[in-house]
Amino acid sequence: MNHLPPLSLYIHIPWCVQKCPYCDFNSHAQKGALPEQDYITHLLQDLNQDLHRFQDSIQGRPLHSIFIGGGTPSLFSAEGIHRLLSGIEQRIPFQSDIEITLEANPGTAEAERFKGYVQAGVTRISMGIQSFNDDKLARLGRIHNAQQAKSAVGFAKVSGLKSFNLDLMHGLPNQTREEALADLQQAIALDPPHLSWYQLTIEPNTLFAYRPPTLPDDDALWDIFEQGHQLLIKAGYIQYETSAYAKPAFQCQHNLNYWRFGDYLAIGCGAHGKITQPDGQIKRYSKTKHPKGYMRGEYLYEEKTVATEDLPFEFFMNRFRLLEAVPKADFTHLTGLRESCIRSQIEWARTKNYISETPTAWQITEQGKLFLNELLAEFLPK
């Protein structure tokens, strides 16, 4: 395959101050001293193994973007992040315009480190604000308050970052429409270049799953989304993904690479990666989830080749999250399959008005967005 997609890197740092009741990410409450330096050493050794294992696929491909997620990566010092990023660049070259995102808790202690993170090479910070209502933040188990969140945005604006994102949730326990829209209006007033605005969902194996809170009903959730969407558009934000809004030219390049079916290396506890081989086969793999095993040097947990019959679903599961048109050439280039193998599914989707089609592209419709699960299910292996 001579048309390999851009290459990104995901890094997982699993520790946080405390586990939030809605969180199903691979995160662990910090107990005792944070093993920052040891963990960074393991991350770089983990990367060494990936580079060796996939050397034929990676050779000649610089890193397009890096995303450091968690947990709470901003628990790590700026010096630690500098050591990590320097170690990565020694092993694999960076594109000149690489985007490097760090997830951060908006608590004051972390916010004061923002300038240090910029000096370490971070270009973008993503802050888990979730709400500007102190009662709702307490119910969500967040350790910051509304004033700390606003202060953190101030730090971000003067830190030298190229961009920053605010994560904001709606559909919170006992949240009214007015409260949800007030949260969004406060976020818009802070003028972030990027806003991730998404509905709280109850995930299995979380505290909220065992003790379900009272959430707004479907009609209220629809009103919140419709009115909030209009507020964001009026404020100059462009919705480019189901839950992602950005000012022009401020889309998250790392997430765009995921959704465009790009490739990404993955290091750290429980991280998931995807790599296209020179022969066109696609490998997916994951790393050991628990820090104890990972820090014994047991990095790789599972690796498999994506079956040919699964490729159409995998491709469209990602691409139809984006609201941009899907170039037909991308399907062929990135899966190695002919368009004819999905022609019947495409015709079905057109008759249902889930997608529109031009000679060169497919476009998900408003109807398709409403029935996305049904649309994607059509591409599952029969």
CATH class of 308-382: mainly alpha
- Quote the pLDDT of residue 1: 47
Domain boundaries, the chain: 7-257, 308-382
How would you write the pLDDT of the chain (382 residues) with one tens digit per residue?
457 899 999 999 999 888 787 777 888 888 889 999 999 999 999 999 999 999 999 988 999 999 999 999 999 999 999 999 999 999 999 999 999 999 998 875 567 789 999 999 999 999 999 999 999 999 988 889 999 999 999 999 999 999 999 999 999 999 999 999 999 999 999 999 999 999 998 888 888 877 888 899 999 999 999 999 999 999 999 999 999 999 999 999 999 999 999 999 999 999 999 999 999 999 999 999 999 999 999 999 999 999 999 999 999 999 999 999 999 999 999 999 999 999 999 999 999 999 999 999 999 999 999 899 999 999 999 8
- Quote the pLDDT of residue 110: 66
Contact predicate 152/137, CB 8 Å: no
CATH of domain 7-257: 3.20.20.70
Q: Is 321 helix (H, G, I), strand (E, B) or coil?
A: coil
Contact predicate 318/261, CB 8 Å: yes
Residue 129 has phi, psi (to 5 degrees) of: -75, -55
